Amino acid sequence: MMMDMMEMYFHFRIQEPILFRQWKPTDTPGYVFSCISISIIAFCLELLKFGRQWMTRKPRPFLVTDVCCTTTEGIWDIPSEEPPRGKISVVPFTMESISDWKHFVSSCLFFAQNFVEYSLMLIAMTYNYPFLLSLLGGHALGYFLVGPLMTVKENDAAGTCCS
């Protein structure tokens, strides 16, 4: 019995399973709908990352504004959200912090985020370039819309499974 080998180069093949045996486009409209679905999933992943960060965001009692960057054209005023030196905010590990409803919901969202990230990684590993471009387009659109709402540190904390 001969097994079909996966093509290990970028290709364009319409009749290819996507994650599940049942999700296999058989014609061009189904293929286009699958690409749109992949873009929507990637877009929703960016919303999920933002939502999880927004939910666990703590109120910021201080905002130190320093001039941190200069160029030959002028000065950029980038607000710094770092606490003043000598003041470190440490949240203790207690039963109260674990039993908080926000921690439970954040943990569930973290599970969903990782599940979707790894699923999208498996789609990218099909080496089907329309799927890959749809995936990247959804991520880019999602980041374009919600990226400005997060700080650089929050964006780094949201992370990805593959970095």
Q: Predicted confidence band at 91 (pLDDT cuts at 50, 70, 90)?
A: low
Three-state secondary structure readout of the chain: CCCCCCCCCCECCCCCCECECCCCCCCHHHHHHHHHHHHHHHHHHHHHHHHHHHHCCCCCCCCEECCCEECCCCEECCEECCCCCCCCCCCCCCHHHHCCHHHHHHHHHHHHHHHHHHHHHHHHCCCEHHHHHHHHHHHHHHHHHHHHHCCHHHHHHHCCCCC
Q: Of 44, 57, 39, nearest to 155 (Cα)? A: 57
The pLDDT tens digits of the residues spanning 123-141 come to 999 888 899 999 999 999 9
Q: What are the structure tokens assigned to 8, written together?
A: 């290990």
Kindly list the domain boundaries of the chain, sorted by start residue: 8-14+27-56+100-157
Weakest-pLDDT range from 49-58, 62-71, 76-85, 130-139? 62-71
Mean pLDDT value across residues 84-91: 55
User: How confident is the model at residue 96, as a pLDDT?
Assistant: 76
User: How confident is the model at residue 81, as a pLDDT?
Assistant: 54
User: How confident is the model at residue 21, as a pLDDT?
Assistant: 83
- Percent of the chain past pLDDT 70, that is, above it, reads 65
Q: Is 84 exposed, middle or buried (0-12, 13-18, 19+ CB in 10 A)?
A: exposed
User: How confident is the model at residue 53, as a pLDDT?
Assistant: 81
Which residues are bridge partners to 80 per DSSP?
64
User: How confident is the model at residue 63, as a pLDDT?
Assistant: 47
Which residues are bridge partners to 20 per DSSP?
18
Mean pLDDT value across residues 49-59: 77
Mean pLDDT value across residues 28-34: 92
Q: What are the structure tokens assigned to 13, written together?
A: 């093949």
Mean pLDDT value across residues 67-92: 53
